[in-house]
């Protein structure tokens, strides 16, 4: 009987021990899970903070870059269009440029003609603007720039009534630059291509003088 009672007591203690051990393991597992969850929460918060910080930094940089670009554009517009009202029509700007040219205010005239050539489309006044830019540059002895303007007129507006004279002017520039053979070829081109134009008569006279 004592043996049976002792066995029952031992079995009872054993079962209680198993229950305690299982409870402890479960408790430890819960603690581990809570710790992992806490760790993951900390990592997520840290990542969220870093992402937010990067977004703010990029937004600040974008604002600064846009501000800088706007300042550059504003400065460029001030330089290019100083003294010219953007709302002026092409006729008003052209008349202003011609008036400046007649007053021998060549710098302002150039600015107005360049503004016309860059910002308007017109089959009459744009070729004329290029012609006068070539003439002003020629008066200022800037042969290279003058030739460029006359070339732009001749290439982009081949049917304009000033184009024959532009070709003749290019020949003049070649002659002034000492390129006599090239000048002679260009004068011959004017005579052959525009036989009924006044530029042809001028070119023919110069060819005769070159003989």
CA distances from 127 to 5, 81, 152 (A): 124, 20, 9
User: Mean pLDDT, to the nearest integer, of 129-133?
Assistant: 97
**Comparing 59-68, 95-104, 156-165, which segment has the lowest mean pLDDT?**
59-68
| Phi, then psi, of 107 in degrees rounded to 5 | -65, -45
Structure tokens at 97: 């440029």
Residue 204, Cβ density class (10 Å: 0-12 exposed, 13-18 middle, ≥19 buried)? middle
CA distances from 158 to 20, 36, 104, 154 (A): 104, 81, 29, 5
Share of the chain above pLDDT 70, in %: 59
- Helix 125-139 to helix 163-176 angle (10° resolution) is 20
CA dist., res. 57 & res. 63, Å (int): 10
Share of the chain above pLDDT 90, in %: 56
pTM for the full predicted model: 0.60
- Helix 180-193 to helix 198-210 angle (10° resolution) is 140
User: Residues 134-159: pLDDT tens digits?
Assistant: 999 999 999 999 999 999 999 999 99
């Amino acid at each position: 009987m004592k043996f049976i009672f002792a066995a029952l007591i031992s079995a009872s203690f054993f079962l209680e021990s198993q229950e305690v051990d299982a409870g402890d393991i479960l408790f430890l597992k819960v603690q581990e899970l809570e710790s992992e969850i806490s760790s993951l929460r900390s990592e997520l918060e840290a990542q969220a903070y870093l992402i937010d910080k990067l977004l703010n930094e990029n937004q600040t940089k974008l604002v600064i870059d846009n501000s800088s670009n706007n300042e550059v554009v504003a400065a460029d517009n001030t330089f290019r269009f100083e003294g010219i009202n953007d709302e002026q029509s092409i006729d008003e700007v052209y008349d202003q440029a011609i008036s400046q040219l007649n007053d021998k205010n060549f710098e302002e005239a150039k600015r107005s003609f360049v503004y016309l050539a860059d910002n308007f489309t017109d089959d009459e006044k744009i070729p004329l603007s290029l012609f006068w830019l070539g003439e002003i540059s020629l008066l200022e002895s800037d042969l290279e720039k003058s030739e460029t303007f006359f070339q732009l007129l001749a290439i982009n507006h081949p049917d304009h009534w000033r184009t024959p004279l532009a070709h003749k002017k290019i020949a003049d520039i070649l002659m002034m630059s000492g390129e006599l053979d090239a000048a002679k070829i260009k004068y011959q081109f004017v005579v052959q291509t525009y036989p009924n134009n006044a530029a042809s008569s001028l070119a023919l006279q110069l060819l005769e003088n070159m003989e």
